C-alpha cells in the first residue's frame, strides 16, 4: 500500500475483491475508480458514498510505474517453456553429465543425482521462477523483497558475466569445427606431415591422436605455460567468436519478442540430432559395451561424499539455477501464469536429456574403444576433450558421410550453447534495464554484446584455455553456492517462507508448502603462476563482497534515527515489492488480509502448532515510509 494507507482500508474493500479480477477479464465496470488528481492515486469503490467505506490510497509512484511501463511479455506460454528448456538443456548435459556419472559410480550416480534434484534442484528452480514472475523484475531489482541482500543479485550478475564471456568462446571453437566439417575429408582424420608424434587410422603411429593435435596445436595453438603472457587472439577463432556474438545480439535485440521465436529451434533441434546420433551410434561395433560401461553401478561410490558433491554441482550446472537467468525469463510472464507446470516439465526434461546424451556419447566411445582395442575407460574424457577430441575422432572413422554427422554434431553443440548463452546475457541486460528503464533496450543489448566480444578475445589466444579455466573456477564455481545459499536464507528466513508460499498461492491459487578438500587450482595438472591465482581470487572476491557491501550501503541509506531501525528496514521488503499491476497489487493485499483473518480465527492449539513448527509468521505490512 502507498503512503497514508491504513490496513482497515483493505478490509473495507473486501466485498469488492472480485471486482478487481474483472478488470483483467475486460469488465468495463470493475467496481472501483483511480483518481490521480490529488497526486496520491486514490482508489475508491463504486457506490461507497455514504456507506462508510474508505478510499484505498495507492502510491502515485506505483501507479505511474505501471502506466509508464512497457515491459514485454512472452507471446504465448509455449515460448517461455521452450526458452527455459533451451536454457537448462545445454552443453552441461552433453559433455559434462556423461563423464560425471561415469566417474562417480556409473548407474549408481543416478541415485544421489535424483535425490539432490528433488531436494535442491527442483525447489530452487521453482523458487526462482516464482520470484521473477511475482515481481516482474530481473535478478537485481527483485531484491526489493529484502533490500539488504541486493548484493546477491549484483553478485550473480558479476558471476554470470564471467561465465558468458568464456561460454561464447567455446561456441566459437564449435563454429570453427562446424565450418571445417564441410571439407572433402575431415581435417582431423589424418595426420598432417608437420605434426610430430601423430597417430591416425592411416598408418601413422605416435603417442598423440590426430584429433588431439588438431584441436590443441592447430585450432587453439595452446601454450604450455602463461608465465610469458597469453599471446594474441587467433584470427580464425576471433571471426567465429564475432559470429557467435552477432547471433546472440540478433536473438536478443528485441527482447523476448525475438528470443521467444528462436526458442522453437533452439529447444527442439538438439533432440533431433541426439536421437539421430544415438541410432547411428547404437549400430556401431562396441556400442553396447560403452553403454553398459556408462550404466553399470558402482555401489561403493554412494558412501563417498565427493559423489554427492558432484551431484549438487551437476544439478546447479545443468539446471542453471542461481545465475539469474530463470528470474530473467519468468519476469516476463503474466502474474497468474502456471509456472508450477513449467518447473516440473523443464526439470524432468533436463534429466531425460542428460540420460539421452549419456547413452549417445558412450555408444560412440564404446565404438572408439573397440576400434583401438582398449578399454572404454581409456577413451573417456569430459568437457572439451570429449567434444573436440574423442567424439570427432570417432566420427572421422564412420564409413558413410562422416561429414554429415560432424556437421550435425557441431551444429547441435552450437545450438545448445546459444540457448544457454542468450539466457545469461539476457539476464545481465534485463538487470541493467530494470535499474535504468529510460535506456533503450536495443542499445544496451548492442553495448553488452560488443563488450562481451572484446572480453572474449582473451579466450581465443594461445593461453586462452588457462584463463577460461581460471574464470570458470572462481566466477562460475563455488561462488554460485554462496550466492544461492544467501538467496535461500533471504527468501525463506528473512522475507519468510509463509509469506513466500502465500505469494505463490496468490499467483497460482494452490497451496505449497559437503566436504571439499582445498587444493591449489591447476590447468592440465600444471600450476598457475601466483599472479594468475591472485587474479582468480580477486574475481571470486568481487562477486562475494557484493553481499556485505550492498547490505551496508542499504543500511546507511535507511539510517535516520537509529541503526537497529535502519537494519530492520534494510531487511524488510519495500513498498515496491509485489505485483507491478495496481489491480493485482490490491488483490494481493486483500488476499494477505484474508489469510491473516483465517489464522486469527483458528483454535489456540492450531496456532501453537504453527508457531512451534516455524510455519506461521506475521504477514508484514508494506513499508509506509
Residues 60-119: pLDDT tens digits? 444 444 443 568 899 999 999 999 999 998 888 888 888 888 888 888 888 899 999 989
The DSSP letter of residue 298 is: -
Which residue would you say has higher pLDDT here, 41 or 571? 571
Print the SS3 string covering 149-177. HHHHHHHHHHHHHHHHHHHHHHHHHHHHH
The predicted pLDDT at position 9 comes to: 42
CA 165 to chain centre: 15
User: How far apart, in Å, are the Cα atoms of 191 and each of 210, 214, 296, 315, 336?
Assistant: 5, 9, 35, 39, 60
Which residue would you say has higher pLDDT here, 408 or 104? 408
CA 248 to chain centre: 16
Helix (H) or strand (E) holding 208: strand 208-209
Mean pLDDT of 317-340: 93
How does pLDDT run across 134-190, given as a tens digit for each residue? 999 999 999 999 999 999 999 999 999 999 999 999 999 999 999 999 999 999 999
Of the pLDDT bands very low, low, confident and very high (cuts 50, 70, 90), residue 603 is low
Q: What percent of the chain has pLDDT over 90?
A: 48
Mean pLDDT of 259-263: 94
How does pLDDT run across 262-287, given as a tens digit for each residue? 999 999 999 999 999 999 999 999 99
Contact call for residues 578 and 585 (beta carbons, < 8 A): yes
611 is in an annotated binding site: no
The predicted pLDDT at position 101 comes to: 84
Q: Taking 90 as the threshold, does the pLDDT of residue 57 lie above it?
A: no
The predicted pLDDT at position 416 comes to: 94
Overall residue count recorded for the chain in this entry:
625
Name which of 51-60, 101-110, 428-437, 515-524 the model is least confident about.
51-60
Mean pLDDT of 113-137: 93
**Cα–Cα distance for residue pair 409/421, rounded to 1 Å:** 18
**Cα–Cα distance for residue pair 281/230, rounded to 1 Å:** 39
* Nearest residue to 321 (alpha-carbon basis) of 573, 512, 84: 84
How does pLDDT run across 472-495, given as a tens digit for each residue? 889 888 899 999 999 999 999 999
318 is in an annotated binding site: yes
How is residue 61 written as a grid cell? 509512484
Which residue would you say has higher pLDDT here, 414 or 62? 414
- For residue 199, give the 3-state DSSP assignment: strand
The DSSP letter of residue 15 is: G
Mean of pLDDT over the chain: 83
Beta strand pairing call for 198-199 and 56-57 = unpaired
431 is in an annotated binding site: no
Of the pLDDT bands very low, low, confident and very high (cuts 50, 70, 90), residue 530 is confident
Name which of 22-26, 368-372, 388-392 the model is least confident about.
22-26
Count Cα neighbours of 221 within 13 Å in the Cβ-side half-sphere: 12
Of the pLDDT bands very low, low, confident and very high (cuts 50, 70, 90), residue 19 is very low
Core vs surface per residue 326-344: b (16+ CB within 10 A) or e: bbbbbbbbbbbbebbebbe
Mean pLDDT of 377-395: 80
How does pLDDT run across 557-588, given as a tens digit for each residue? 888 878 888 888 888 888 888 898 888 988 89
93 is in an annotated binding site: yes
* Nearest residue to 252 (alpha-carbon basis) of 81, 447, 456, 459: 447
How does pLDDT run across 185-223, given as a tens digit for each residue? 999 999 988 898 898 877 777 888 899 999 999 999 999
Helices (H) and strands (E) in the chain, counts: 28, 7
Which residue would you say has higher pLDDT here, 101 or 507? 507
The predicted pLDDT at position 279 comes to: 93
Contact call for residues 548 and 5 (beta carbons, < 8 A): no
The predicted pLDDT at position 531 comes to: 86
Task: Read off the pTM.
Answer: 0.80
Contact call for residues 152 and 143 (beta carbons, < 8 A): yes
420 is in an annotated binding site: yes
The predicted pLDDT at position 154 comes to: 96
Amino acid at each position: 500500500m502507498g503512503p497514508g494507507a491504513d490496513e482497515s482500508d483493505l478490509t473495507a474493500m473486501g466485498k469488492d475483491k472480485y471486482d478487481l479480477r474483472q478488470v483483467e477479464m475486460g469488465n468495463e465496470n470493475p467496481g472501483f475508480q483511480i483518481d490521480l488528481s490529488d497526486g496520491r492515486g486514490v482508489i475508491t469503490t463504486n457506490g461507497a458514498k455514504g456507506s462508510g467505506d474508505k478510499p484505498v490510497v495507492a502510491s502515485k509512484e506505483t501507479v505511474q510505474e505501471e502506466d509508464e511501463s512497457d515491459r514485454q511479455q512472452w507471446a504465448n506460454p509455449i515460448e517461455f517453456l521452450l526458452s527455459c528448456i533451451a536454457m537448462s538443456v545445454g552443453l552441461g548435459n552433453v559433455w559434462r553429465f556423461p563423464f560425471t556419472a561415469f566417474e562417480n559410480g556409473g548407474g549408481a550416480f543416478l541415485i544421489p543425482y535424483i535425490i539432490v534434484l528433488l531436494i535442491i534442484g527442483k525447489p530452487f528452480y521453482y523458487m526462482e521462477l516464482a520470484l521473477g514472475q511475482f515481481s516482474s523484475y530481473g535478478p537485481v531489482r527483485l531484491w526489493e523483497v529484502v533490500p539488504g541482500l541486493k548484493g546477491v543479485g549484483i553478485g550473480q550478475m558479476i558471476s554470470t558475466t564471467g561465465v558468458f564471456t568464456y561460454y561464447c568462446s567455446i561456441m566459437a571453437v564449435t563454429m570453427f569445427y562446424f565450418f571445417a566439417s564441410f571439407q572433402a575429408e575431415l581435417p582431423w582424420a589424418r595426420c598432417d606431415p608437420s605434426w610430430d608424434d601423430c597417430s591416425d587410422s592411416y598408418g601413422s603411429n605416435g603417442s598423440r591422436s590426430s584429433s588431439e593435435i588438431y584441436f590443441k596445436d592447430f585450432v587453439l595453438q595452446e601454450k604450455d605455460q602463461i608465465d610469458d603472457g597469453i599471446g594474441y587472439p587467433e584470427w580464425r577463432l576471433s571471426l567465429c567468436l564475432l559470429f557467435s556474438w552477432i547471433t546472440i545480439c540478433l536473438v536478443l535485440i528485441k527482447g523476448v519478442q525475438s528470443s521467444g521465436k528462436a526458442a522453437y529451434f533452439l529447444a527442439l533441434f538438439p533432440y533431433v540430432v541426439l536421437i539421430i546420433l544415438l541410432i547411428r551410434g547404437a549400430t556401431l561395433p562396441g556400442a553396447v559395451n560403452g553403454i553398459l560401461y556408462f550404466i553399470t553401478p558402482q555401489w561403493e561410490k554412494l558412501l563417498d561424499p565427493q559423489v554427492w558433491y558432484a551431484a549438487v554441482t551437476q544439478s546447479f550446472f545443468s539446471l542453471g539455477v542461481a545465475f539469474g537467468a530463470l528470474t530473467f525469463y519468468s519476469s516476463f510472464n503474466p502474474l497468474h501464469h502456471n509456472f508450477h507446470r513449467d518447473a516440473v516439465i523443464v526439470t524432468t526434461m533436463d534429466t531425460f536429456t542428460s540420460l539421452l546424451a549419456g547413452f549417445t556419447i558412450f555408444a560412440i566411445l564404446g565404438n572408439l574403444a573397440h576400434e583401438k582395442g582398449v578399454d572404454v575407460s581409456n577413451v573417456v574424457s569430459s568437457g572439451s576433450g570429449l567434444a573436440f577430441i574423442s567424439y570427432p575422432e570417432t566420427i572421422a572413422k564412420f564409413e558413410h558421410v562422416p561429414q554429415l554427422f560432424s556437421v550435425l554434431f557441431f551444429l547441435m553443440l552450437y545450438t545448445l550453447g546459444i540457448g544457454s548463452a542468450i539466457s545469461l546475457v539476457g539476464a545481465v541486460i534485463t538487470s541493467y534495464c530494470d535499474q535504468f528503464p529510460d535506456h533503450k533496450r536495443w542499445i544496451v543489448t548492442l553495448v553488452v554484446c560488443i563488450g562481451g566480444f572484446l572480453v572474449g578475445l582473451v579466450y581465443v589466444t594461445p593461453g586462452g584455455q588457462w584463463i577460461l579455466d581460471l574464470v570458470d573456477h572462481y566466477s562460475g564455481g563455488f561462488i554460485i553456492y554462496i550466492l544461492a545459499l544467501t538467496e535461500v536464507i533471504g527468501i525463506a528466513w528473512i522475507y519468510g517462507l509463509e509469506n513466500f508460499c502465500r505469494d505463490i498461492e496468490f499467483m497460482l491459487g494452490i497451496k505449497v508448502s559437503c566436504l571439499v578438500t582445498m587444493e591449489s587450482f591447476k590447468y592440465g595438472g600444471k600450476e598457475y603462476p601466483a599472479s594468475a591465482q591472485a587474479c582468480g581470487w580477486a574475481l571470486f572476491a568481487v562477486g562475494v563482497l557484493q553481499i556485505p557491501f550492498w547490505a551496508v550501503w542499504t543500511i546507511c541509506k535507511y539510517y535516520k534515527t537509529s541503526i537497529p531501525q535502519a537494519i530492520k528496514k534494510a531487511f524488510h521488503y519495500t513498498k515496491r515489492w509485489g505485483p507491478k499491476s495496481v489491480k493485482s497489487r490490491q488483490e494481493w493485499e486483500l488476499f494477505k488480509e484474508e489469510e491473516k483473518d483465517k489464522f486469527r480465527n483458528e483454535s489456540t492449539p492450531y496456532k501453537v502448532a504453527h508457531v512451534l513448527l516455524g510455519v506461521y509468521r506475521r504477514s508484514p505490512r508494506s513499508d509506509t515510509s
